[in-house]
């Protein structure tokens, strides 16, 4: 199957693009369609790399607007955990399908997920056409015996996710150091190393997490994880609000990725945002994520990258902190080996966006500044993953049915 895109604007030049077997085969001003190519006329559209959502809980579209304005632990205990106890695997499938629709509509073509029923998440990802790193979640409530009992199930889920095909990467998703025992974390780290798959965990989201860890373990969270063998090039540490300089240096040394989630951090008022200047100074790999819809409340990485840049300027008191080009590179997953965003180049996966160049928000001279500060996800006209058109003229297949499914399931779960 081959696809040709004609007349797209790239860095002020009109280019064509040919896609074969899901990869970019040709790209440049003189590229022409070949006989038998499917065709996209991209006149007036801007060609750009897509966004990579570095941390989310996709199926939580089921819980949008459920318990807004509550503190993190109270919200988890009184709203989310009881509702999640009622979750059926099929709910997770549909919740994830809706998240995929929303991500496609706002220019994200790959995400790192952490949620229950990973097998259903993987199925939804496959059906939606998007890419994802899908976790097998683990919470043993700090009980190593319980954790040991869960291991066969974890391995089985991992194997089933691994069968989902080339657009799905299996990973291990222990929730956090305050919900998973050190024995289980060490075991997951070992499995992750053996299978060469990502480890995905929440880390240092609240100040309480840091003080509890320091009190109980005599060390801060990153050092604690490192001593369990958890930090490496495939480790993804979401939030990282309270990481200090020493922890960021350790994380950088291990090659692990910290993922900022500014909207969720501000909405839940956890007291800060990822200390980006310190993370950058340490040389840490960095990503950006929306977190779940229930703590954001959307999955729009264009909105998130603006919040990321603005919250960092606000925190540092310097408008030059986190310039647009760097914020955008992070949002595209280009500053992390795990997020592994791709560039527009021959041989790369054919994952890209076509933006509506006539939208008034894109009227400035600096395209990076436009995309970060002015545009919302609604500027995306067309989204293509592995050479397959997932959205054209803002229409995503089955979007209304999927929305309806989630609305009725949400009522059952939260009513």
Minimum CB distance to a second copy, residue 342 (Å): 26
Scan for tokens 């604007």, then name that residue.
9
Q: Tell me the residue ranges of DSSP E strands in 36-175.
A: 38-41, 45-48, 51-56, 108-113, 131-138, 168-174
What ranges in 106-140 are assigned the alpha helix state H?
118-128
If we measure between CA atoms, which residue out of 152, 80, 155 comes closest to residue 119? 155
Query: What residues make contact with a second copy under the rule CB under 8 A?
Result: 61, 64-66, 68-71, 98, 101-102, 105, 263, 265-269, 271, 293, 296-298, 300, 303, 306-307, 309-311, 313-314, 316-321, 323-324, 358-361, 363-366, 369-370, 373-378, 399-400, 402-403, 406-407, 410-411, 414
Minimum CB distance to a second copy, residue 183 (Å): 33
Of 178 and 373, CB closest to a second copy: 373
Of 157 and 294, CB closest to a second copy: 294
Of 173 and 377, CB closest to a second copy: 377
Instruction: List b or e across 186-218, with b for residues whose CB sees 16 or more CB atoms inside 10 angstroms.
Output: bbbbebbeebebbbbbbbbbbeebbeebeeeee
Of 101 and 199, CB closest to a second copy: 101
Of 78 and 358, CB closest to a second copy: 358
Minimum CB distance to a second copy, residue 261 (Å): 12
Minimum CB distance to a second copy, residue 401 (Å): 10
Of 321 and 336, CB closest to a second copy: 321
Separation CA 139–CA 117 (nearest Å): 13
Of 66 and 352, CB closest to a second copy: 66
Q: Do residues 288 and 260 lie in contact, with contact meaning Cβ atoms separated by under 8 Å?
A: yes
Q: Do residues 105 and 380 lie in contact, with contact meaning Cβ atoms separated by under 8 Å?
A: yes
Minimum CB distance to a second copy, residue 141 (Å): 25
Residue 395: how many other CB atoms lie within 10 Å: 10
Cis ω on the peptide bond leading into residue 329 (within 30° of 0)? no
Of 69 and 194, CB closest to a second copy: 69
Separation CA 386–CA 190 (nearest Å): 32
Minimum CB distance to a second copy, residue 338 (Å): 27
In the chain, DSSP finds a helix count (H) and a strand count (E) of 15, 17
Minimum CB distance to a second copy, residue 309 (Å): 8
**Residue count (the chain):** 415
Minimum CB distance to a second copy, residue 228 (Å): 31
């Amino acid at each position: 199957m081959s696809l040709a895109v004609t007349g797209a604007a790239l860095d002020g030049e009109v280019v064509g693009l040919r896609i074969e077997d899901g990869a970019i085969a040709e790209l440049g001003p003189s590229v022409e369609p070949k006989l038998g190519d499917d065709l996209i006329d991209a006149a007036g559209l801007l060609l750009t790399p897509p966004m990579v959502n570095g941390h989310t809980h996709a199926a939580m579209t089921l819980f949008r607007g459920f318990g807004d304005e509550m503190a993190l632990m109270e919200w988890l205990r009184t709203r989310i955990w009881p509702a999640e106890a009622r979750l059926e695997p099929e709910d997770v499938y549909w919740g994830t399908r809706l998240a995929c629709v929303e991500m496609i509509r706002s220019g994200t073509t790959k995400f790192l997920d952490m949620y229950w029923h990973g097998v259903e998440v993987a199925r939804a990802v496959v059906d939606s056409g998007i890419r994802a790193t899908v976790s097998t979640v683990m919470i043993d409530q700090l009980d190593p015996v319980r954790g040991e009992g869960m291991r066969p199930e974890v391995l089985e889920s991992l194997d089933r996710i691994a069968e989902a095909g080339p657009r799905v990467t299996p990973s291990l998703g222990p929730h956090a150091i305050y919900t998973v025992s050190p024995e289980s974390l060490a075991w997951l780290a070992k499995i992750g190393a053996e299978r060469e798959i990502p480890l995905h965990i929440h880390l240092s989201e609240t100040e309480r997490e840091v003080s509890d860890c320091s009190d109980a373990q005599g060390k801060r969270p990153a050092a604690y994880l490192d001593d369990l063998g958890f930090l490496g090039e495939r480790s993804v540490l979401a939030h990282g609000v309270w990481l200090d300089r020493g922890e960021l240096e350790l994380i950088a040394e291990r090659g692990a990725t910290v993922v900022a989630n500014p909207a969720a951090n501000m909405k839940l008022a956890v007291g800060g945002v990822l200390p980006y200047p310190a993370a950058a100074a340490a040389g840490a790999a960095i990503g950006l994520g929306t977190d779940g819809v229930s703590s954001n409340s959307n999955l729009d990485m264009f909105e998130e990258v603006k919040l990321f840049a603005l919250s960092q300027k606000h925190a540092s008191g310097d408008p030059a902190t986190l310039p647009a080009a760097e914020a955008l590179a992070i949002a595209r997953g280009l500053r992390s080996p795990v997020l592994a965003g791709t560039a527009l180049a021959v041989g790369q996966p054919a994952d890209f966006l076509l933006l509506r160049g006539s939208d008034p928000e894109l009227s400035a001279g600096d395209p990076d500044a436009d995309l970060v500060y002015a545009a919302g996800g609604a500027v995306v006209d067309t989204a293509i993953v592995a050479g397959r058109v997932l959205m054209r003229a803002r229409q995503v297949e089955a979007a209304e049915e999927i929305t309806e499914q989630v609305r009725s399931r949400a009522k059952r779960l939260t009513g």
